[in-house]
Amino acid sequence: MSPCSVVLFCCVVVVVVGSNGIVHGFTSVPPSSSPPLLRVVKGGIRTHRPSLSPLSPHSYNHGSRRPLRMLLPANDSASHTRRVATRPTRLLRPTSGSSKGYPSRKFRVLSLAGRPDNNNDNDSKERRQFMLDPVTQTFDHVTKSVQESVENARTRLEQLLRFLPAPLRNFYRAFFEKLHAWKGFLVSFTAGAFLATAAIIYPIYASVESLSQPVTLFETILGDLEQAYVEEVDTNKLFETGIAAMLRSLDPYTEFEAAQEAVALTESIEGRYGGVGLVIAGTPRAAAEPKSNANQLLPAAAQSDTASQEDTERNRNTMSNVMTEEEEDEYMDRKEQRKALEKARKQGIRVVTAFEGYAFDYGLRVGDKLLAIDDKPLTADTTVEDVRNMLRGQPGTLVSIEFNRDGVDDVQTVTMPRAVVRLRDVKLATLVGSPRDGIGYIQLSGFTSNAGAEMRQAITYLQQRTLDATNGDKSLQGLVLDLRGNPGGLLTSAVDVASLLVPNGSDIVSARGRGFPGMLYRSRVDPILNPNTKLAVLVNGQTASAAEIVAGAVQDLDVGVIVGADRSFGKGLVQNVEELPFNTALKFTVAKYYTPSGRCIQGVNYKGGGGLKEENGGYIASKVADADRKVYYTKAGRMVRDGGGVEADYKIEAPKASALEVTLLRSGMFNEYAAEWSKTHMLTNNFAVDEDIYRNFIAFVDQKQKTGDIELDALYSRPLSDLKKALKRSGYKGAEKEVEVLQANIVREVQKDFDKYRKDIKEDISQGILARYLPESMLIERGMKNDAQVEAAIKLVANKNTFDKILAQGNTAERMGGANSLNMASGASAQSTSGVRATIQW
C-alpha cells in the first residue's frame, strides 16, 4: 500500500468514525430521558410525560421531531391546528372549566415565566427550573456522546497506526499532537475565506437585486397592457419602443438593433453580404406602414391616396380653427411626409448605385427602375426592405431582374448570380498629375474588417506605379490620404491602417472605461509607407471615430500633416456590439479612446437624461468649451488640444454650397433632370454641360416649382412660418403681410444664384448625368480634379520645405518634457485580432 493510499484511508476512517459517533450521540437519547411535556389542565400547569401509544392525542414521537401541539381540542380544524402549532412559545390558559377532560375553547395567554395571577417567587423559580431541566439534560447527554465518539475514534486510529511503518506512524502522531496548535490558524483561515467570499458575492447579489425590481416592473407593465389595454397592442413594437426610449436617454450611439437592423449592422462591420451589389431607393417600410396615430391629425380626405389637393387644403383650413400650434406643425410635417411617400411610390424602386464587379458589370445603372424580381412584380406598396430581401440570398444562386431605363422603351431583363459582395473601403487609389512626380491619392471611405488589407494593397500599387513610371529611379514621393466624410468603423481596422503609416513599436491608441479593460494598441509591424514619403491626411467635420484614430496617431507621432478647413467631428467613444437572443444586438458605449499624446478628442459630453423630467427623455449633451480644452504635445513637441476633434495643421477652406444648390440636392432635382435628359440624349466622349443644357435645367426647375414639387425657399420656410404665426397671435397684421413680401423676395434672390453659382450647379448637373453611365471610381476621380482641398494637399506634399516647416513648429526641448507628452493611457498591449473586430465598433 502506498503512503498516499494510507493517508487517504486514515482520513476516511476519521471522518466516518467521527460522524457515526456524533450521529449516535444525537439519536441515542433514551425515551426515559426525553424532556417532559407541558399540559394545560384546569387549575394550572402539570408535568406530563406522554404515552408512546400512537393513539394518544398527546403522543410525542421523539424520532420524528414534530413540533409540539400545545392544545388540540377534539373539534379543531386543520387550519386551526397549524395556526396554534406555529406558536410553541406561548401557552393558553382556559378561562372556564372544560368538559370530558378537555379544556374550554376560551383561553388566555399565559407567559412561560409563570401565571399572571397569585404568583410568588418560589413558584416562579420552580417553574423556571422546571423549564430549564430538559434543556440541560439534553445538552449534557449530547456532550457526553460527542466526547465518547472522539475517544472511540482516537482509539481506533491508534489501532490503525500500529500497522504503519515506524517513520510514518511517528509522523502521524506528531501531526495530531500539533493539530491543536494550528487551531487558531485554521479558524482564521476559514473566517478570512468566508469574508473574502462574502466580499465577492455581495456586490454581485446587490447588483442583481438592484436590477430585479425594474425588470419585474417592466414585465408587469407590459403584461398588463397586453391583457387589459382598451385596444389590442403589439407587444413586440411596444417593447422595442420602450427599449429605444431607455437607450436614447444615454447618448446617440447606444441602440437596440432588432433582427433586421442587427443583420445590417453585422454586414457593415464585416463589409460583405450575399447579394447582387445594388444600392436601391424607394418606399421605406416606416412610410409604407405608418403607425396607428400617423394620420390622426390629417383630414379624412387626406388619408386617401386619391385625395385631391383642393380637398386637402379645404379640410386643413377647416381644422385649423381647432388645432393647437403643435398640432398644426405636426399636421404640416405629416403632410410633407405624405407628399414624399406619394413621390416615392410614383418613382418606384430605383437604383442608386451599382457596384463595379457585380451589378454594374451585368448592365444595371443608376436610375434604372426595378419592375420584378424572379417574375414577382413590384407594386407601389413594395418597400425597399422587401426588394432587398428578394435580392439577397445564398451566393451562387441565380436571380432574375426586370427593369426599365429612361429613354428606352422596352423592358430589359438580366439574370445574374448572387455573390459575396464586398464593400470596398478604398474607393480610389491613383497617381495624380504626372506619374513621374510620384504623388499618390487614396480615398478611404470606411473601416470594415478589410480596410487594413485594402490600404496595404493600394499603397503597394502606387509605389509600384511610381517605380515603373521612373524606371526605378524614384519611389513614391507624396501621398494624400482622404478621410473626409469617413464615419469610422472598427477599432482594430483603424489600428491596422495606422500601423502601415507609423514606425514599428509606436503607440497608436488606448481605450478605457468603467467596465472596459484598459487596452493599449501598439504597432507590431514595419510601416509599408517609406518614412521619406510626405503624408497629408484630409479631414472635415464628417471625419469621425476610427478615421480620427488614424488622423490623431499621424498627428501625435509627427509622421504627416493634417489638412482641412478646421477640425474633425470629435467622436472619442467606443461602442461594443453584443449579440442578444432572437437574432438581435445591442450597441452601447463602453469606453473612451485616447491618442498617443494622451488626449481624448470627444467634443461633446453626454450624461443620462432626466427621464420624464427632460423633453422626450433624451440624453443631456454639453459641448466641450474651448476654455476647458487641455494642451498636449506631439512627439516633436507641437502643441495639440483635446476635446474637440483633430484640428488641421494646414487649413484650407472648403467651398461652401449656396442655398440654391443645397435645395436642389435635397429635392433630387439633379437626378430627376438627368432622367429626363437621358430620354432624348446620348452620352458622347466629349460630353460637357453647355449653356443649352443649363437653360433647359433652369426651365425644368421652374416647372417643378409651379407644380409644387420643389420650394426654392425651403431652407427658410419653417422659420418664416413660425414668425408669421407669432405675428398673427400678436395681432400684427401689417407685419404679417411684410413677411409674405419677404418670402417672395427670398425666392427671387435664390433664383439669382443660378447666375452667381453657375459653375458649381453645372458640375452637379454633369455628375448627375454621368452617374447613369460611369462607375463610381471614375466619378470620384473626375470630381477630385475640381476639388480645391485635394489640390492644396497635393501642392503641400510636393513642397518639401513647407511640409517640413509645419512638422517642425514648436519643436523645443522645454515642450518635449511636458507631463502630457505622449502620455498614453495605461493598459495591456494588444494587437488587432479578428475576434476584437467582431465586437468593437468606433
pLDDT for position 656 = 85
* Long-range contacts (CB closer than 8 Å, 24 or more residues apart) made by 113-120: 115/44, 115/45
CATH (domain of 371): 2.30.42.10
Question: Would you say residue 153 has pLDDT above 50?
Answer: yes
Ranges 4-13, 14-23, 183-192, 551-560, most confident: 551-560
- Which of 422, 449, 483 represents a domain boundary (last residue)? 422
Lowest mean pLDDT among 38-42, 145-149, 664-668: 38-42
Contact 764, 671 (CB under 8 A): no
**Residues 696 and 728 placed together within one structural domain of the fold:** yes
356 versus 5: which is more confidently predicted?
356
Q: What is the pLDDT of residues 284-322, one digit of tens each?
A: 654 433 333 333 333 333 333 333 333 333 333 333 344
Q: What is the pLDDT of residues 478-513, one digit of tens each?
A: 999 999 999 999 999 999 999 999 999 999 999 999
Range of the domain at 418: 273-290+345-422
C-alpha span between 570 and 646 (Å, rounded): 7
**Residues 405 and 438 placed together within one structural domain of the fold:** no
**Residues 402 and 467 placed together within one structural domain of the fold:** no
**Residues 417 and 431 placed together within one structural domain of the fold:** no
**Residues 390 and 439 placed together within one structural domain of the fold:** no
**Residues 537 and 491 placed together within one structural domain of the fold:** yes
Give the distance, in angstroms, between the CA of residue 504 and the centroid of all CA atoms in the same chain: 33
824 versus 129: which is more confidently predicted?
129
- Which of 404, 422, 440 represents a domain boundary (last residue)? 422
pLDDT for position 785 = 84
pLDDT for position 611 = 52
336 versus 620: which is more confidently predicted?
620
pLDDT for position 205 = 65
pLDDT for position 344 = 67
Q: What is the pLDDT of residues 658-672, one digit of tens each?
A: 889 998 998 889 989
CATH (domain of 811): 3.90.226.10
Confidence of residue 128 (pLDDT cuts 50, 70, 90): low
Beta bridge mates, 353: 279
**Residues 643 and 510 placed together within one structural domain of the fold:** yes
Confidence of residue 228 (pLDDT cuts 50, 70, 90): very high
Residue 66 resides in a domain: no
C-alpha span between 491 and 170 (Å, rounded): 65
**Residues 413 and 445 placed together within one structural domain of the fold:** no
> Alpha-carbon torsion 621, 627, 632, 638, what sign?
positive
Residue 534 resides in a domain: yes
CA distances from 777 to 427, 429, 525, 782, 787 (A): 6, 9, 30, 9, 15
C-alpha span between 730 and 726 (Å, rounded): 6
Confidence of residue 355 (pLDDT cuts 50, 70, 90): very high
pLDDT for position 263 = 79
Residue 212 resides in a domain: no
Q: What is the pLDDT of residues 512-570, one digit of tens each?
A: 998 888 899 999 999 999 999 999 999 999 999 999 999 999 999 999 999 999 999 99
**Residues 508 and 529 placed together within one structural domain of the fold:** yes
**Residues 645 and 665 placed together within one structural domain of the fold:** no
154 versus 120: which is more confidently predicted?
154
> Alpha-carbon torsion 547, 548, 552, 553, what sign?
negative
- Which of 381, 401, 422 represents a domain boundary (last residue)? 422
Question: Would you say residue 465 has pLDDT above 90?
Answer: yes
272 versus 332: which is more confidently predicted?
272
Residue 304 resides in a domain: no
Q: What is the pLDDT of residues 795-825, one digit of tens each?
A: 999 999 999 999 987 643 333 334 444 444 3
Residue 701, SS3 per DSSP: helix
- Phi and psi of 403, rounded to 5°? -150, 165
> Residues 666, 672, 674, CA angle at the centre, nearest 5°?
120
Residue 167 resides in a domain: no
Residue 702 resides in a domain: yes
C-alpha span between 495 and 492 (Å, rounded): 5
User: Which residues are annotated as catalytic?
Assistant: 545, 556, 571
**Residues 504 and 586 placed together within one structural domain of the fold:** yes
Residue 263 burial by Cβ neighbours in a 10 Å radius (0-12, 13-18, 19+): middle
Residue 573 resides in a domain: yes
**C-alpha dihedral (337, 338, 340, 341), degrees to nearest 10:** 120
Q: What is the pLDDT of residues 171-184, one digit of tens each?
A: 777 776 666 666 66
**Residues 690 and 712 placed together within one structural domain of the fold:** yes
How many structural domains is the chain composed of? 3
Question: Would you say residue 6 has pLDDT above 80?
Answer: no
Residue 46 resides in a domain: no
Average pLDDT over residues 182-198: 72
Confidence of residue 99 (pLDDT cuts 50, 70, 90): very low
Q: What is the pLDDT of residues 63-90, one digit of tens each?
A: 443 333 333 333 443 333 333 333 443 4
Q: Where are the alpha helices (DSSP H) in 514-652?
A: 546-556
